[in-house]
Structure 1
Amino acid sequence: MATLDRRALLKGAAATGIVAGLATSTLARSAVAGDPDRSDAEIYGVPTADPLIEQRADPFITRRTGGMYYFTGSVPEYDRLVVRGAPTIAGLAAAAETVVWRRPASGKMGGHIWAPELHRIDGRWYIYFAAGDSDDVFRIRMYVLESPLPDPRDPAGWTLRGQIATEWDSFSLDATTFAHRGRRYLVWAQSEPEIAVNSSLYIARMDTPWSIATKPVRLTTPTRSWEIQGFRVNEGPAAIVRNGRVFLTFSASATDARYCMGLLTADAGADLLDRACWAKTPDPVFVTDERTRRYGPGHNTFTVAEDGVTDVLVYHARDYRDITGDPLYDPNRHTRVQKLYWHRDGTPLFGVPVGEGGPIVRLSPVDARDAYVRHEEGALRVQRDVRELASSQFRFVAAAAGDGTETIQSVDLPDRYVAVVGGTVRLDPVETAFHRVRGAGGVALRLAADPERYLLHDQGRLTVGSPGGARGRFLLS
């Protein structure tokens, strides 16, 4: 009965534009096999509105607290702090926004207001943000607001706790905080004197939500080619603890199309204040994608979908490359969300910043449940250990005929489709329509043009032929 109730709840949420959550890839596959009525939106588990919120950069979405998600981010005017709330992530798009604090007309904190984050700590709300001064808008320092009220949208509760003091009185911003193994940490970006970069990343243990108790430890400084484009920048850290490790994403380079994300990793049992325990990926993990038309993705954070387990990547990006003037003053860095995937070795798979379209799925043959259909130079293969996430992501799109048939569109090559060309199954600009035949054992994909032929798995390849038992059924996750 609980399963039926949950299904009804999910369908009701989908009908109102609320996308319900999905547990894990493994649970997703078993759910499809046992529940043929599960929609692609339910499988994907996160909203597909893109952007989710327009003209809000440096986005931050809390985990659901007291039945609500709360959002904050930088506004294009850089003059105020805003908060909105909704019971679902999708609901944040249309939620009313409250101004909870405005910069003073002059003096300290009267300049640029950047990158707020909203955290619930010991029963109180805190906003970490960066502010410049009116006579020098780029004299950026980090500050903290506190509210004892249960609703962070209520401006009456907010009072200034003050500036976060670090080792140096220098350009500092993008403070984030997380708790791990009974200790709370602050991670931020700062320009350290005598280091010829714009900003590096630092970590320290906190003794209160507005102060640090230890000397800062420099975790990373921009040295690699993708970190020094336009500016030498490491900034915008965000922490997620999973699978026995602490992962720390960060953003690099100028805030135009060259903006991108890197990743630091430490063992969950390590001393996080020991710089040697952190390893940086040699290449960025999330970058501009010309094919999906998403430019300069970065300054990300993480939240969790309504199911309580599906991790969600929150970030901003533009939908055009060319910018007139200083990109810092281009208002169209929009808030976007997409599902964060995990590789079997426990590391995150970011894929590409996805373009417009409906829910995303991955296809696994029933006779190879731990493998995925992916494309490679036009060929379609079934492969385990897929690290190129986007090559294994697809969308079912209603075919032009309007007869209930669907095409299967590639996510990272949106002008290509799973197609049958001359008897060969490949990724191609030609669209092939399929009937999706749901059943307890998975989904069968029958060619609309030839009802006697189905998509089949054959030793790591996709072919077409007569119904073939498990090799002709797929699980969606």
Structure 2
Amino acid sequence: MTRHLSRRTLLRGGVGVAATGLVLPTAARAAHATPPPVRTDAEIYGAPTTNPLVWQRADPFVTPPTGGRYFFTASVPEYDRLIVRASPTIEGLGTAAETVIWRRPAAGRMGGHIWAPELHRIDGRWYVYFAAGDSDNVFRIRMYVMESTAADPREVSGWSAPRQIVTPWDSFALDATTFAHGGQRYLVWAQSEPEISSNSNLYIARMTSPFTITGRPARIATPTKSWEVQGFRVNEGPAVLTRNGRIFVTFSASATDARYCMGLLTADARADLLDPATWSKNPDPVFTTNEQTNQYGPGHNSFTVAEDGETDVLVYHARDYRDIVGDPLYDPNRHASAQRLYWHEDGTPLFGVPVGAGGPIVRLSPADAPSTVVRHYAYVLRVDRDVRELADTQFRFVPGLAGEDTVSIRSVNFPDRYWRVDGASLRIDPVEDGDAYAAQASFRRVRGLANRNAVSLELSDRPGVYVRHAGGGLTVDGPAGSRSTFWLG
């Protein structure tokens, strides 16, 4: 009988010994009645994956840890207010109390749709950037900013009245974000520029204060590719990440249904950011609907860092169904989600796929070849280097199909498939009923044979037999030190 574990235990890697998430190898169990502690989830996994993170909150924005807490804001389905949550962990934002820091007026200016707030800490003060329409025309959207001198952005009395961010055109404008680079602060936003046949393009400008841009803005992206013009011609929702000598700007494109997706702009960090030629656009979207994980229309993201202070985390919204009744803008079920952002060897980001519900996600690297990762290719498990198909290398430990102190390992991008021993090799195969499949798809996750901070995988039905790295593939055999040991990352 399969043992059911609590969600907390599962998120702690909890199978076998609940306090550590590991059991000892067969030969060592009797000698170590009280195993020493192992690394925490934050150290092992880099970032928790909670999906959804916050229900019915679109355009999510999570700050970096500030004063020991993360702060969250987003669009609410009613489009009528600005909200803030706080938690010492990213996962805790899902159940954190919500404070309304501002409500739209009953009529007049800013009395229409309230969209896409962002919280930024600048020179010791809080600023919330948002877009608002008017009561007589909810789509007369313009950009606004409020300032607070309070240490906590949830302190309602600390906020000033909204001020409009003025651009050269009095037209549809939204999704302002700001960042500092090279001693200069910039604003990036989306706007409908007159005489350009698109709903919105992306612009960048220097700022003289958190309220004001200066000089002529540079248009850095226009929707022209097939994936950017589905339903509407849209580039919107920019988010900025500076890494590896480059500045990356993600953005969202097309209509807000299942066709919504994310693109990527890249600039050399040493270049003139106001020169449009500095920016290059990926030819294909980097984050799209994934039917296997039941995540539709992922987009309008932000970035934060995990509790370890180093691991980048992608925050975005998506729906868990494709078909929408009526205008997708008024469908309330865009949920905020969070997952780890990985990096390729060449310094570019790897987004993978929007993951489905479940606990932490891992990649496994053999201890004897730590620059490689386990992946599936044509449903066979192998070990490769230089893998751009991130989702092919991502897995989840789940309670073992064989029960007791076992684990099973589920594919992230094919959630109906598990690691399965097939003779001397391993595959990912669809789950089947019966004891034979359960035994073949279950393992004992034990402390690493070559390093106690890693893991080894002992076959559930063959004590002393382990999963081993062998010449770019995976096989099963007796213990072999580093070849039977895997780092999790």
Please report the TM-score for the alignment, with normalisation by the length of structure 2. 0.89
Aligned to 2:151: 150
Aligned to 1:227: 228
State how far apart, in whole Å, the 2-side matches of 1:36 and 1:419 are. 29
Aligned to 2:85: 84
Is the contact made by 1:286 and 1:350 (CA closer than 8 Å) also made in structure 2? yes
Aligned to 1:460: 472
State how far apart, in whole Å, the 1-side matches of 2:236 and 2:105 are. 26
Find the residue that maps to 1:195 and give its secondary structure.
coil
State how far apart, in whole Å, the 1-side matches of 2:213 and 2:11 are. 42
State how far apart, in whole Å, the 1-side matches of 2:41 and 2:353 are. 19
1:75-224 to 2 correspondence within 5 Å?
Answer: 75-224=76-225
Aligned to 1:400: 401
Residue identity opposite 1:433 in structure 2: S
1:12-51 to 2 correspondence within 5 Å?
Answer: 37-40=38-41, 42-51=43-52
Out of 430, 439, 444, the residue aligned to residue 435 of structure 1 is 444
State how far apart, in whole Å, the 1-side matches of 2:180 and 2:133 are. 28
Count of residues paired in the alignment: 449
State how far apart, in whole Å, the 2-side matches of 1:155 and 1:40 are. 35
- After superposition, the Cα gap between the structure-2 partners of 1:434 and 1:64, relative to the gap in structure 1 and judged at 3 Å, is same
Is the contact made by 2:250 and 2:263 (CA closer than 8 Å) also made in structure 1? yes
1:351-390 CA distances to partner (integer Å, 9 max, x unpaired)? 1111111111111111111000001111211101111111
1:8-57 CA distances to partner (integer Å, 9 max, x unpaired)? xxxxxx789899xxxxxxxxxxxxxxx97225564223233311111110
Is the contact made by 2:61 and 2:302 (CA closer than 8 Å) also made in structure 1? yes
Aligned to 1:28: none
Residue identity opposite 2:463 in structure 1: P
- After superposition, the Cα gap between the structure-2 partners of 1:85 and 1:219, relative to the gap in structure 1 and judged at 3 Å, is same
Is the contact made by 1:185 and 1:206 (CA closer than 8 Å) also made in structure 2? yes
Residue identity opposite 2:104 in structure 1: R
Aligned to 1:31: none
State how far apart, in whole Å, the 2-side matches of 1:18 and 1:375 are. 25
Q: CA deviation at 1:150?
A: 1.2
Aligned to 1:426: 427
The worse-fitting range, judged by mean Cα deviation, of 40-49 and 78-87 is 40-49
State how far apart, in whole Å, the 2-side matches of 1:447 and 1:237 are. 47
Is the contact made by 2:48 and 2:359 (CA closer than 8 Å) also made in structure 1? no
Is the contact made by 1:436 and 1:446 (CA closer than 8 Å) also made in structure 2? yes
State how far apart, in whole Å, the 2-side matches of 1:39 and 1:147 are. 36
Find the residue that maps to 2:391 and give its secondary structure.
helix
State how far apart, in whole Å, the 2-side matches of 1:48 and 1:64 are. 17
1:89-142 CA distances to partner (integer Å, 9 max, x unpaired)? 122111111111111111111100000011111111111110001111001000
Find the residue that maps to 2:216 and give its secondary structure.
coil
Q: CA deviation at 1:160?
A: 2.2
- The yes-or-no answer on 1:474 pairing with 2:486 is yes
Find the residue that maps to 1:404 and give its secondary structure.
coil
State how far apart, in whole Å, the 1-side matches of 2:409 and 2:195 are. 54
State how far apart, in whole Å, the 1-side matches of 2:461 and 2:183 are. 61
Q: Provide structure 1 residue ranges, at least 5 long, that are not aligned to the other structure.
A: 1-13, 20-34
Is the contact made by 2:45 and 2:488 (CA closer than 8 Å) also made in structure 1? no
Aligned to 1:358: 359
Residue identity opposite 2:350 in structure 1: L
Q: CA RMSD in A?
A: 1.7
The worse-fitting range, judged by mean Cα deviation, of 282-291 and 303-312 is 303-312
Find the residue that maps to 1:226 and give its secondary structure.
helix
Residue identity opposite 1:435 in structure 2: R
The worse-fitting range, judged by mean Cα deviation, of 264-273 and 153-162 is 153-162
Q: CA deviation at 1:437?
A: 2.1
- The yes-or-no answer on 1:326 pairing with 2:327 is yes
4+ runs deviating over 4 angstroms: 14-19, 39-42
The worse-fitting range, judged by mean Cα deviation, of 461-470 and 185-194 is 461-470
Is the contact made by 1:161 and 1:210 (CA closer than 8 Å) also made in structure 2? no
Aligned to 1:309: 310
1:400-420 CA distances to partner (integer Å, 9 max, x unpaired)? 332111111111111111111
- The yes-or-no answer on 1:445 pairing with 2:457 is yes
State how far apart, in whole Å, the 2-side matches of 1:36 and 1:373 are. 26
Aligned to 1:272: 273
Q: CA deviation at 1:158?
A: 1.2
Is the contact made by 1:453 and 1:465 (CA closer than 8 Å) also made in structure 2? yes
- After superposition, the Cα gap between the structure-2 partners of 1:286 and 1:272, relative to the gap in structure 1 and judged at 3 Å, is same
Is the contact made by 2:12 and 2:40 (CA closer than 8 Å) also made in structure 1? no
Residue identity opposite 2:338 in structure 1: V
- The yes-or-no answer on 1:379 pairing with 2:391 is no
The worse-fitting range, judged by mean Cα deviation, of 61-70 and 331-340 is 61-70
Q: CA deviation at 1:161?
A: 4.4
Find the residue that maps to 2:240 and give its secondary structure.
strand
Aligned to 1:390: 391
Residue identity opposite 1:97 in structure 2: E
Find the residue that maps to 2:51 and give its secondary structure.
coil
State how far apart, in whole Å, the 2-side matches of 1:205 and 1:245 are. 18
State how far apart, in whole Å, the 2-side matches of 1:58 and 1:352 are. 18
Aligned to 1:416: 417
Is the contact made by 1:131 and 1:140 (CA closer than 8 Å) also made in structure 2? yes
Is the contact made by 2:42 and 2:308 (CA closer than 8 Å) also made in structure 1? no
Q: CA deviation at 1:172?
A: 0.4
